[in-house]
Structure formats: structure tokens, C-alpha cells
Amino acid sequence: MHPEPDLKVTLVSPSRETPYSGLLPGVVSGHFPEEDLYIDLGRLCQFAGAELILATATGVDPNGSEIGLENRPSLAYDYLSIDVGIEPALTDLTEFDEALVPVKPISGFMARFNLVYEQYRGGGAFAIVGAGAAGLELAFALNHRFGGKAEGNGLQKPIFYLCQAAAEILPEAPGRLRANIQKALAAQGIQFQPQFRAVRQGAGQLVSAGGAVLEVDQVFWATGAAPQSFLKNSELALTPSGFIAVNAQLQSVSHPNVFAVGDAADMVEQPRPKAGVYAVRQAPVLFKNLIKNHRGQTLTRFKPQQRYLSLISLGEQTALGYKGSFWGSGRSLWRLKRHIDYRFLDLFKNLPLMTQPSAANKQVLDPSTQCRGCGAKVASSILSDVLSQLDPDGGRVLDDSAVLTPPIGELMIQSVDAFRPIIDDPYVLAKIAVVHAVSDIYAMGGRVGPIMVNLTLPYGSESITRSLLQQVMAGVLSQTKAEGGQLVGGHTAEGLELNITVSVTGWASSGHIKTSRGAQLNDHLVLTKALGTGTLFAASMRGQAAPSWISDAVSMMLQSNRAAGALVAAPSVHAVTDVTGFGLAGHLQSMLVAGQGVDLILPHLPVLKGALTSLSELGVYSTAHEKNQRAATSVRTQAFSDQRLLARQSLLFDPQTSGGLLISVAPDASQDLVDRLQALGFDQAAVIGTITDQVGIAVSGDG
């Protein structure tokens, strides 16, 4: 909410949403819905003016100031803050199988837990390894959830074991509280197994170092903390346990431009156990020190509290709590824990309106002082360096022009598309831009050949420009190769925002060329990809789109039409177009010739998750929606009483980014085409209508 004007902030995360561990026991026990567990990182970054890159870190090079990312180029940084949590420590186990369910990371745990819960059918035995606060809460929560399912369905109640290597539960807690925990475990039928150090799991058994054997169906692992594997060879100074060693200022003891907090770090001067409460308290100091480090000011010391309030849910709506020698129990403590957890989550979900320009809108350099025209070109040295690193065997990329020789006997197809940012991630955005641009080639039955790209990069320092150019060009090169094309030239310039223009040349024999005209009477219309990107990203800009909606939309936009384009050469295919900015209605209207019309079946339209909700419940439309509707004069809309049908009708005018192919095919070949498309990964491909001799586009609500 108080951004530093000359810092560009990027968040790297493997997921668009992140779980809050404090709410996990309440979700597992069934008291709270799972969606409450997650913080929407896309919405948070949008609010904060930060960029979100969805990628998995594979390494850190602190000497080169780069983060290695999985399946994409490294990301450069000036300052790095690491809070990546932990992995489960499984070093004590000599063997284990798929029945072992680690609690960390929580995102992976929830997917496994849901599968186990659905598979449970009466009876069964389960073990929780680790009787710290997290293990205790999990044991009580699982027992409550599974036991309730058994009672509600007349099934046998499952058996739960709580195992730990030590003899005492929570040795730091008051004695009377420990006694109350023992009573609660016994009252709920959870069998406590002290001095049970698990060393082997598999084939339905959990075996201790002392030879004790428990017959169990699933084992939930809630003990031990291991550092993320990508930190091992990072050259950052680590503690003997493998975590990042930081000083009292939360700064790496070996690399002063690197900071680390939470479970990923060990404070060498002030050792503390792994607990989320410290990460929360570290956050304000971390923010201050990142800014002060950038300004060259003296850093602030973090002073961790000696004691903190621990609250342990008991499955039912009761809890135990202690701080030092003081402790208590009851429903009021459970309500207190719920209040604390939801108050914390509300900070990230109920975001206030920004009263000042975000960091994303403040340029590192003043645009008014920057040259324009050809003076705005990105330095050739930066471009050459980036291209040579990304594609050392690709040969020289021409600056502004390319000489092309068409294959003998083939025709040339050309298309160009300009692309403003629809998502923050420059690598993924570049891939989508290429997928979007080459669809025109596939719609005409061609194959992709030479590609040229024109980039406008936001004004920035040389290091920022180089890093951004590397991400964009890596995306362009990766997708160009995936399409079977070749990058032959382009142009770079600086401006107010990132803009990607892709010019594509394709080749096709004259006998294989398809156009948008040529549909025949009674042809079936097949659409290869789902609709809804316009409304979904409009909702995302307003902070109203669920993370899963955007994730699914991005996956769809990244799906190339190349495989679908290979099918349109069939004689049974009479006309093809791709569905993009004019919406389905606009592109469908362009397919029709005099005397032709369409019967369009609205329930058959493939729709992206959340698109109908965005239109019908949120009332969010793309800014291009209205002009698309005005232009689609041949559509005969209906006043449906069903709001979902009205939303599907509105979807006809929704502008699409990297949409599917719309194919007019002989009726006796349409189902075979759909089957082939679905086998190629176009899961939502469907017949959506029929070409008729009734002029206009008629919509039907009958499936």
C-alpha cells in the first residue's frame, strides 16, 4: 500500500493462490469451506501493483542475482526476499509408499486429503505422525471429520493413532494443559503412541524404531521440517539444518541483497522454532529493511517475542490455549481462534481502494524525458546478448527485415496481431501472443513458417529491460518452435507498457487453402475451444475473478490450434475461421453468404469456468462487448427467463483471446471431427449449430 517509486516488484509462486495454514484444522474438520483457506495472489498483486509469475523455483544464484525457474529462463533481481516454507522431513523413513500423506506443503496436502476422504468407506485405520501443535490439531480434525461421516452413514468409526518420538506431548506447555490434551485424546478415541519414532511405512503398516507395528491404511506426516531442495546448492550461507542463515535484520549473512523469513530461514542470533507467528511479525521489519537496503540506510533489527499465544483446536468447536504458564480451554477459545484466523485472511481478501498510484504505474524513468521514434529502440547489445543466451544455435536474428523464399508450388499466408498485456507474466503472455497470432494460419489450412516480432518494453533501467526482454523472447522462441515456425526478425522499442506484435507467414498448397466463406446448407458448426476470456479478464481487472477461473482461461489460451488446424484440410470441411476479438457472433456472421443463416444451440456452447457467473451474477462485460453486439446485426436474440441462457446469449459477443477454430463441416462428418479433436486434447470441442437457409443467426435454448 506504500510502494517504493523506483522498485519493480515481482512475486514468483507455483500457484495463483496460496493456503493459510492457520485455517487448515477448521477446513479439515469440516467447519469451514475449503475456498476460505486460500489467498488469491493474482488479486493481491493487482492491488499492490506487483507482477505475478507462476513458476516453480529450481535454484538461486546469489552471485549472479538470478532465480532459476522450471522450464523457462532465469529471472534477474536486484533484491530478493525468500519465504518459501518447508518440505516434509522424511529422512527417518527408510521406505514409504503412496499411502503416506505429507501435511506440508498444504496445497498438495488438501488434494490428497480430499481423495482419501472420498475413498473412505467405513472403518479403516489412520496414523498421524507428529504430536506437536500441528499434529494434534490434525488428529482432532481428522477424527471429527471422519467420525462424523461414519455416524451420518451408519458406518464403523475409523481408528486413529497419534504417534511421536518423544515421551511427552508439548513438553513446553503447562502440565495441566498436557493432562487435558491426554483426556481429550482418550475421550475421542484417538490412541496416543509415545516414543514411537516411525522408520518405515508401506504395505499397510507403520513401523517404529523399537519394532512396534501399526496396521494402518493411510499415514499423515506432520513432523519435521526440511528446507526446500532448490536451496541446497544456492551458495547462500545455510545453517547446519540447511535453512538460510539470516542475521537480526532478516538479511542473508553471506549476500546482503538477499532476505529470508518464515520457515525458510534460521535467525542465527535469535534461534526460534518454526512457527507461523514469527513470519507474521517479521513482515513489517522485512518491508522496512528491503526499502532501507535499497536506499542505503541502516537496517532495523527484528525482535521476536519470547512467548506467544498457542491455540489448539480439538476437532469439535472447542480449543485449548496457552501462553507461558497460563492456559485455558473451551468454546470461547475456539471462537477466538476463528476470529484471529479470519481477521488475518480478511487483510488479503477485503482489500481497500488504493488512494495513490501503484508501483506498476510509476516508471523507473520519467517517460517525458525519453526519446521517441527510432531513438526509443532498446540497445542492440542487450538484444544480442539475450538472443544469444536463449538460442545459441538459432543463428543470427535479423533486426527489422527478413528475406523469404516460398516453398515450390505453395501459396503464402500472412497474418499479424498486436497484443496488450492480459496477464502480468511476460513469458506466458508472449507464448499466448504467438498462439493467438498463428491461429489465423491454421484456420486457412496452412502451416506456420517465418515469424517476426515487434516488442514495446516499458521504460526501465538496463537490468530491468534485459530481464523483461529475456522473459518475453524466451516465451516467443519457445512457442515459435512448438508451432514448427522460425523467428527470423523483429524490432524492439521502449514505451509506456509492454506490447507484443507478432507477424506470421504460413505456407499451404492451393488445394488445401480454407477460407471463412464456403459453408454449405445443413453443415454442422464445430467450435474447438471454450468461450469466456473477455468477461473473465474484465472480472480479474476488477478483482472479482476466482483464481481457478483465470488459471483455466490461461491454460486454454496456451493451447495451440495447430493440431486442430491439421484436421481442416479434410474435404468434408467447407469453411473455417478462428474466434478472437469480434466474438463468436462476429466471426460466425463473417462466415455466412447471402441466403444463409444459422441455428445456434446455446446449451451446446463450450464455456470457460466462471464465465457465466461473471456475466449473470457479477454483471461484468468486456469493454469490447457492446460494440461487438452492435456489429452482430444478424443475431436474433431472445428474452430468455433463464438467467444462465441469457448469459450464454451474451457470451456470443464476448471478445476472445487465443480462441478456438470455428469449423463448418458436412453433417455426416461432424461427430468424427469432434471425436478426433477431443482425442487431440480439445476436451470441450462440440457441435454448436447448423447452417440453414433462414437468413440470420437464430439462438435456441433447447439442448
With H, G, I as helix, E, B as strand and everything else as coil, classify residue 291: helix
Q: Could you give the C-alpha distances from 10 to 1, 48, 292, 307, in angstroms and in order?
A: 15, 10, 18, 34
Q: Which amino acid is at 242?
A: G
DSSP letter, residue 575: E
The residue written with cell numbers 462466415 in the block is 591
Nearest to 83 by CA among 260, 242, 274, 254: 260
Q: Is the dihedral of CA 116, 122, 124, 126 positive or negative?
A: positive
Nearest to 461 by CA among 3, 5, 2: 5
What does the alpha-carbon distance between residue 390 and residue 430 come to, in Å, rounded to a whole number?
14
What does the alpha-carbon distance between residue 53 and residue 447 come to, in Å, rounded to a whole number?
31
Q: Is the dihedral of CA 427, 432, 437, 441 positive or negative?
A: positive
Cβ atoms of residues 109 and 87 within 8 Å: no
Residue 111: Cβ-neighbour burial (10 angstroms; 0-12, 13-18, 19+) = exposed
The grid coordinates listed for 290 are: 528491503
Cβ atoms of residues 311 and 320 within 8 Å: yes
Cβ atoms of residues 47 and 357 within 8 Å: no
Cβ atoms of residues 184 and 140 within 8 Å: yes
Q: Which amino acid is at 45?
A: C
Cross-strand bridge partners of residue 128: 162, 220
Cβ atoms of residues 364 and 461 within 8 Å: yes
List, by residue number, the catalytic residues: 374
Where are the alpha helices (H) located in 15-103, listed in sequence order? 24-28, 41-48
